[in-house]
């Protein structure tokens, strides 16, 4: 059996960054995403967000890919919101996402960052946050995932 620990900070937004995830929906949705992750054997350490995007901290298993985990979490959750008619309109996620590796020494810092999304976004917009993440993680110039 391989011993693997790969931490990923996975971030995605609502379609067109629409602020449709009001607090009551976020509470239900994030609980649902956590339960879905458990059922699919995805280790979801942390989840939080605001009205237009979600931050998660996941740990991948040997047979899991970032793309597949993102697809399983995003696809099933948007289907669930629509099936339960929780949004009052069609709910969709943006196709793109950001996934950044996290070293063991930084896991606590990323957990705290995820936990404090509402406070964090009183000071910084989603666009400013993504620009900073892209720069900090040296993504190609001009590349904007959202």
Mean pLDDT for back-to-back runs of 10 residues, the chain (146 residues): 90 94 96 98 97 96 96 97 94 94 96 86 68 66 52
DSSP structure string for 76-140: HHHHHHHHTT-SSS---B-S--EEEEE-GGGHHHHHHHHHTHHHHTTTS-HHHHHHHHHHHTTPP
Q: What is the pTM of this model?
A: 0.85
Neighbour tally for 62: CB within 10 Å? 9
Asked whether the beta carbons of 56 and 11 are under 8 A apart, the reply is yes
User: Which residue ranges form the domains of the chain, and what is each CATH number?
Assistant: 6-136 (3.30.70.1290)
């Amino acid at each position: 059996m391989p011993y693997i620990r790969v931490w990923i900070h996975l971030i995605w937004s609502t379609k067109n960054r629409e602020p449709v995830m009001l607090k009551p929906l976020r509470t239900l949705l994030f609980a649902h995403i956590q339960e879905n992750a458990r059922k699919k054997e995805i280790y979801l350490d942390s989840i939080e967000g605001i009205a237009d995007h979600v931050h998660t901290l996941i740990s991948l298993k040997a047979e899991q890919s970032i793309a597949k985990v993102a697809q399983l979490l995003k696809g099933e959750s948007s289907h669930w919101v629509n099936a339960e008619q929780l949004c009052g309109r069609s709910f969709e996620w943006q196709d793109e996402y950001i996934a950044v590796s996290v070293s063991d020494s930084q896991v606590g810092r990323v957990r705290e960052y995820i936990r404090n999304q509402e406070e964090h976004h009183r000071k910084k917009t989603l666009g400013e946050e993504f620009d900073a993440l892209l720069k900090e993680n040296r993504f190609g110039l001009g590349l904007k995932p959202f």
